[in-house]
Amino acid sequence: MTEEVVKLIKGDTPVTCDPERAQYYIDKGFRIVGEELPVEEELPVEELPVQGPRQDGEEAEPLHETLAKAELPGTIDRQECITIAVQRILDRNNPDELTGGGLPRIEIIAEEAGVVAVTAPERAAAMESITNG
């Protein structure tokens, strides 16, 4: 008795699920692994709506422009955005943006990175990446 599963992917995020659940992921932009993308369809480019570090009231440039200037190899994924945001928050060292234990506040990370609902494990991975970097 073999259980049938469907393998899907969106960017670098793979998902394996039951066939009944596959439509949910397809609706969220996932595609079946091995399925060719239509030639006429272009993948959407998602710009990061995050502003760079703010200093003394000056208007900072958007994070995606900062990243382009840095000439980072490959594409920037969610965790990398979170790591960059954590580094910026730590560099500012603003006590209002840090917890009592010195960790960047989750809501500040989400705002800085331009993502929704940063989790504690994502913050921990970013902190580990920075300290071991």
Look up residue 71 and give its DSSP letter: T
Q: Which pair of tokens denotes residue 128?
A: 């580990």
4: its two tokens: 């049938």
Residue 126 has a pLDDT of 92
Q: What is the DSSP letter of 104?
A: B
pLDDT reading at 53 higher than 60: no
The pLDDT value recorded for residue 123 is 92
Answer whether 109's CB lies under 8 Å from 123's CB. yes
pLDDT at residue 71, as a whole number: 47
Q: Residue 44: how many CA atoms within 13 Å on its side-chain side?
A: 6
96-120 pLDDT, tens digit per residue, is 999 988 999 999 998 888 888 889 9
pLDDT given for residue 21 in this prediction: 84
Over residues 66-85, the pLDDT tens digits come to 555 554 455 568 888 899 89
Mean pLDDT across the chain: 75
Closest by alpha carbon to 99, among 81, 124, 79? 124
86 compared with 14, residue with greater pLDDT = 86
| Token pair listed for 19 | 């066939």
**CA-closest candidate to residue 35, choices 27, 26, 44, 45:** 26
Q: Can you give the pLDDT at residue 75?
A: 55
Per-residue confidence (pLDDT) for residue 64, from 0 to 100: 54
What confidence tier does 14 reach under pLDDT thresholds 50, 70, 90? confident
In percent, the amount of the chain with pLDDT more than 90 equals: 21
Neighbours of 65 (CB within 10 A): 13
Q: For residue 55, what pLDDT is reported?
A: 55
Q: In the prediction, which pLDDT does 72 show?
A: 46
Q: Are 112 and 88 in contact (CB under 8 A)?
A: yes
